[in-house]
Amino acid sequence: MSQNSLRVVWVYPDLLSTYGDQGNVLVLERRAHQRRLDVQRLDVRSDQQIPTSGDIYLIGGGEDRPQRLAAERLRRDGGLNRAVANGAIVFSVCAGYQILGHEFINDLGQREQGLGLLDVYSTRGEGERCVGDVLGDIDPQLGLPPLTGFENHQGVTHLGPSARPFARVRFGNGNGTGDGTEGAFNETVFGTYMHGPVMARNPHIADLLLKLALDVNALPPVDDRWYDALRNERIAAATQPA
């Protein structure tokens, strides 16, 4: 990668692209182009090999059966794990988030092995499904403004000792464990339950990934008026009494 070029990989759009999560790729591309960065986008379907030379990998949500198929193929392929070992950045949503952990419950009610890229494991919640707007505070270490998103999941994700919660919720369920955590991250791998798509609501997450991939501390400013209007609207919706 040169200082002004990025390779962005959209993983399995044929299986994991639910609830508009492809919007994350579009926002990331847009934020890069606004900084005059050259972006090569690769949409890698589930019958194709995962390249190991990407800089940023994005994974979306999906239904239970496509999630199982995606996990099976990613395990066999091994390319995503090798890319992370090479220093690549990964951002995952919902089903993709669960796949990056040690295990989750698949559509057959069985434990399904994940990729082990995040120190988390997911179970099936026994209560009501987690659905609705979420507002939270992203880990201060990441230096980002409050998180807004939309969750729709039955899964409950538990964090191990080497995973930090991506955010702490003010409103909503997040990981579903009742401890106020939402998502998880380590140095280069991020997971969240937030749809929206989450980067349209939180463009600074896209900027964070760009900075990590480029190994820079700051990016040139861009016009955020559209994003700010959307953020303010959704934050207000989350804080309205039911």
184 within a domain of the structure (yes/no) = yes
105 within a domain of the structure (yes/no) = yes
Task: Could you list the residues known to form a binding site for substrate, using ranges.
Answer: 129
242 within a domain of the structure (yes/no) = no
138 within a domain of the structure (yes/no) = yes
**The predicted structure's pLDDT at residue 242:** 58
63 within a domain of the structure (yes/no) = yes
- DSSP per-residue codes, 91-128: EEETHHHHHTSSEEE-TTSSEEE---SSSEEEEE-SSS
pLDDT score of 86 more than 80: yes
33 counts as catalytic: no
- Of these residues, 94, 153, 158, 204, which one is catalytic? 94
**The predicted structure's pLDDT at residue 188:** 96
229 within a domain of the structure (yes/no) = yes
For the residues 88-112, what does the mean pLDDT come to?
97
227 within a domain of the structure (yes/no) = yes
Helix (H, G, I), strand (E, B) or coil at 170: strand
Given the DSSP bridges, would you call strands 5-11 and 56-59 parallel, antiparallel or unpaired?
parallel
Average pLDDT, the chain: 94
By percentage, how much of the chain surpasses pLDDT 90?
A: 90
pLDDT score of 128 more than 70: yes
By percentage, how much of the chain surpasses pLDDT 70?
A: 98
pLDDT tens column, 209-233? 999 999 999 999 999 999 999 899 9
Task: Give the domain extent around 63.
Answer: 3-237
195 counts as catalytic: yes
CA distances from 190 to 184, 203, 235, 240 (A): 6, 15, 22, 29
What tokens appear for 66 in the block?
């496509």
- Of these residues, 102, 153, 158, 195, which one is catalytic? 195
For the residues 143-159, what does the mean pLDDT come to?
96
What tokens appear for 32 in the block?
């890069």
40 within a domain of the structure (yes/no) = yes
**CATH number of the domain bearing residue 138:** 3.40.50.880
What phi, psi does 22 have (nearest 5°)? -60, -20
Task: Could you list the residues known to form a binding site, using ranges.
Answer: 129
For the residues 52-63, what does the mean pLDDT come to?
97
pLDDT score of 81 more than 80: yes
Give how many domains the chain has, as a whole number: 1
pLDDT score of 241 more than 80: no
For the residues 88-114, what does the mean pLDDT come to?
97
**The predicted structure's pLDDT at residue 154:** 92
pLDDT score of 202 more than 90: yes
Q: Which pLDDT band, with edges at 50, 70 and 90, does 4 fall under?
A: low
pLDDT score of 87 more than 90: yes
